Amino acid sequence: MGSPVVAAERRKREGPQRPQLLSFVDSEFRARELVDVLRGPRFHGRDEAIQERVARLAVLLDELRLPAERGLLFDQAELAIDHLGAEPPSLTLFDRVLEHLEEEVRAVPLPWLSRTVLSAAPHVIVASGAILAMGISLFVTYVLVPALPRADVATLQVVTEAGFAGALTSLMLRFHRIRVRWNLSNRDAFFEGLFRPFIGVFFAWMMYFLLDAQLLPFRPVEGTSMLNLHAGLAFVTGFSERLAASVVEGLTQRAGGGGGGGGDER
């Protein structure tokens, strides 16, 4: 972005020509542009005081992703980044600009739903996306799948549930890594919770179809049903594709060594 002096001169020169009323697309573009700067190497490895200020500014940029007369507020956010990224950082000036920016942003009343979503922690946003994914998954499992003209509907339902449970477990185990200092936007956090379980389900389905087509050279041990193998591999695949690849490799080597038995097909 250059030095604060250069940025100030550019703002002074371009300010009158920059419209205050921004469309959603323009607001989104400017917010993402500034968030990329906050996530870039310029602020990596800085001390806790700077990281805390970066997180506060990132939250404000999330609130600016709406169509409104906020062109000048983006200019103020850019000025705050210049103060924070200076050598040495001008923390006092940054705090002054940020306080004024917070007052201006929150002076415009937002609908209660938008206000609630924007103020929620990333963990809550991820969980809300996962809850929506769970509802869609239940609809797919118990409404759409039974309508399929297949003889293995019950097995496919189990595979779907196991794949979703594995992906959800993986998502919950990563909750401790979701921190404000990552500058994770609320929309990104929501889609993380929404899409990650479905990715696990898709991989679980693919694993099931490969097993059903007998393209993988292993079967459950004698006395164990094929359903257990399908459910176990679906859970592992939904949890982690890399872990599933390691498990399949191990089972294939075991089957090649004669360790596996020929159990029931279904």
Q: What are the Cα distances from residue 245, in Å, to 27, 90, 185, 207, 230?
A: 42, 50, 32, 10, 15
Report percent pLDDT > 90 for the chain.
14
Lowest-confidence segment of 123-127, 131-135, 178-182, 194-198 by average pLDDT: 178-182
CA separation for the pair 82, 26 (Å, rounded): 21
Higher pLDDT, 9 or 196: 196
CA separation for the pair 250, 229 (Å, rounded): 14
pLDDT of residue 161: 93
pLDDT 10s digits, 231-254: 899 999 999 988 888 888 888 887
* Triad 35, 195, 37: Cα angle to 5°: 10
pLDDT 10s digits, 118-146: 555 667 778 888 899 999 999 989 998 88
Higher pLDDT, 152 or 73: 152
Cβ atoms 65, 27 nearer than 8 A: yes
Mean pLDDT of 34-61: 82
Q: How many domains, the chain? A: 2
**Average pLDDT in the chain:** 76
**18, pLDDT greater than 50:** no
Mean pLDDT of 191-220: 86
Cβ atoms 63, 185 nearer than 8 A: no
**204, pLDDT greater than 70:** yes
Higher pLDDT, 187 or 166: 166
Cβ atoms 79, 11 nearer than 8 A: yes
Ranges of H-type helices in 176-240: 186-212, 226-239
Q: What is the residue type of 49?
A: A
Out of 74, 99, 114, a domain closes at: 114
pLDDT of residue 239: 92
Cβ atoms 216, 253 nearer than 8 A: no
Domain shared by 27 and 135, yes or no: no
Domain shared by 128 and 32, yes or no: no
CA separation for the pair 210, 187 (Å, rounded): 35
Domain shared by 103 and 178, yes or no: no
Secondary structure of residue 65 in the 3-state scheme: coil
Domain shared by 250 and 128, yes or no: yes
**Cβ neighbours around 88 below 10 Å, total:** 5
Secondary structure of residue 112 in the 3-state scheme: helix
Domain shared by 131 and 237, yes or no: yes
Segments forming the whole domain that contains residue 187: 120-256
